Structure 1
Amino acid sequence: MADVILETRQLTKEFKGFTAVSGVDLRVERGHIHALIGPNGAGKTTCFNLLTKFLAPTSGRILFNGRDITAARPAQVARMGIIRSFQISAVFPHMTVLENVRVGLQRRLGTSFHFWRSSRSLDGLNGQALALLGEVGLENFADTLTADLPYGRKRALEIATTLAMEPELMLLDEPTQGMGHEDVHRVTELIRKVAAGRTILMVEHNMKVVAGICDRISVLKQGAVLAEGSYAEVSGNPQVMEAYMGTADGELAGARH
């Protein structure tokens, strides 16, 4: 039997008569990279917001490791190990790369983030921070001001700060959005690398990325699950192809080759 880390049961979110997420049943298996895809307006980001408790569902349930977290608050969910990287790079631009990762590592001290603490008092975290930077290929950028990093490297830094929070489940929201081909390749390989021994749920528009690294894919259309399975299964589904017509159909077909 599959080891399911995250499950939703009939998850629904309505906004004044408009149903953004409609009866979604999702099962994310431990150790998998699971993608949530669909045309614009399909409900992917709303679904992410429900999972991380930035929105409360209208109905349905969310279970993490078998525990009902439907009523949990965002901070509680984060402490349980569900950590989200945002669509727009969420790093501190006027801190160095190393300092950004240390902010994430402060969680391991069992205290809140202490922005007022002297940098010397946090030097004990440097070894761990450098190890994480090495994991994402940023060890040579430790002393670089984050604002001076190229866009793709900033996304790598964001993944490093997410890893610093010791996630059991990483939620990646459009990790390759707005990137050129070289950065897309670098970040895709980075996701593949950091996925070892971890579970990742990602929203991603780039079908070549999805085809290359994802174990399982859930396709949303108008807030509901249209299809689910491997990339080969969903890309060959006539309903999925129709849903992408005029938007990402060419990408979907092209990613097979």
Structure 2
Amino acid sequence: MNDVLLSATNLTKSFGGFVAVDDVNLHVKRGQIHALIGPNGAGKTTCFNLLTKFLTPTHGTISYKGHDITAMSPADIARLGIVRSFQISAVFPHLTALENVCIALQRQRGDSFDFWRSQKVLLQFNDEACALLEDVGLSEFRDVHAADLSYGRKRALEIATTLAVDPDMLLLDEPMAGMAQADVERISELIRRISVNRTILMVEHNLSVVATLSDTISVLARGKVLAEGDYATVSQDARVIEAYIGEDHG
């Protein structure tokens, strides 16, 4: 198990009498892209929120690098090197792409994000911010306000701000949601590039993206892990086929 970076054991979340995540065991290996998929209502988002500590499990444990992080806050696990994105792009719309990344890089100054500090404070991060923008294909948009970027480029900017805190592990919540095909291809290639030195867990509905990017796929249905393996394995699993066909025809 030395190659497992993040794991969940018997992870369960109940809301009143409804069990949204039911005794889930999940093991994300270091250096892989691991996808969490399933039909609507399968419990993917709840599971993702449990792993990133935006929800507290009813029972079960979560471990990172072999250490129990079940009781930690989202801020605490971010300091350990686990950083997540959200379905809705989370950038400052009236700041430029460069300014957004510089603000994220302020994390290097300590625990304070002093947004009211003068612009001179941010200038020290310009070179590193420019390098991150180049990594995500946004060099030519460095001086463009985030509000004026296309949706796909906003998501790329969000990934750049996430990379600014130098995480070991990225958790991406539906990174392709709402994108045109050209943006899907651009962000897919970006995820492939940034995964070289990082571990990625993503919730994603676009099965062609999952098939192309993922090393391992966990399929959830009704809060339980239905199947796990590479795409060839899970796509031929009769239970997975039934779960998705049932959704299509329900």
TM range (shorter): over 0.9
Counterparts of 1:19 and 1:204, CA distance in 2: 22
The one-letter code of the counterpart of 1:214 is: S
The one-letter code of the counterpart of 1:206 is: N
Question: Is residue 116 from structure 1 mapped to residue 116 from structure 2 by the alignment?
Answer: yes
Counterparts of 2:147 and 2:247, CA distance in 1: 33
Q: Secondary structure at the match of 2:124?
A: helix
Counterparts of 1:23 and 1:176, CA distance in 2: 28
How do 1:123-202 and structure 2 match up within 5 A? 123-202=123-202
Question: 1:207 maps to what in 2?
Answer: 207
The one-letter code of the counterpart of 2:81 is: G
Shift of 1:94: 0.6
The one-letter code of the counterpart of 2:51 is: L
Shift of 1:112: 1.2
Q: Mind listing any 5+ residue stretches in structure 1 that lack a counterpart?
A: 250-257
Aligned positions, number: 249
Question: 1:254 maps to what in 2?
Answer: none
Question: 2:29 maps to what in 1?
Answer: 29
Shift of 1:246: 4.8
Shift of 1:104: 1.2
Counterparts of 1:246 and 1:53, CA distance in 2: 31
Q: Secondary structure at the match of 2:197?
A: coil
Question: 2:44 maps to what in 1?
Answer: 44
Q: Secondary structure at the match of 1:72?
A: coil
After the TM superposition, which segments of 4 or more aligned residues of structure 1 sit over 6 Å from their partners?
none
Question: 1:67 maps to what in 2?
Answer: 67
The one-letter code of the counterpart of 1:121 is: V
Counterparts of 2:116 and 2:29, CA distance in 1: 40
**Per-residue deviation, residues 100-147 of structure 1 (Å, max 9, x unmatched):** 111111112223101011111110000000000000000111100110
The one-letter code of the counterpart of 1:243 is: A
Q: Secondary structure at the match of 2:218?
A: strand
Shift of 1:247: 4.0
Question: 1:252 maps to what in 2?
Answer: none
Question: 2:230 maps to what in 1?
Answer: 230
Question: 2:7 maps to what in 1?
Answer: 7
**Per-residue deviation, residues 126-169 of structure 1 (Å, max 9, x unmatched):** 00000000000001111001100000000000110110011111
Question: 2:244 maps to what in 1?
Answer: 244
Root mean square deviation, CA, Å = 1.1
The one-letter code of the counterpart of 2:145 is: L
**Per-residue deviation, residues 7-42 of structure 1 (Å, max 9, x unmatched):** 000000000010000000000000000000000111
The one-letter code of the counterpart of 1:43 is: G
Q: Secondary structure at the match of 1:245?
A: helix
Shift of 1:3: 0.3
Shift of 1:61: 0.2
Counterparts of 2:183 and 2:246, CA distance in 1: 26
Shift of 1:68: 0.1
Counterparts of 2:217 and 2:238, CA distance in 1: 15
Q: Mind listing any 5+ residue stretches in structure 2 that lack a counterpart?
A: none
Counterparts of 1:248 and 1:202, CA distance in 2: 22
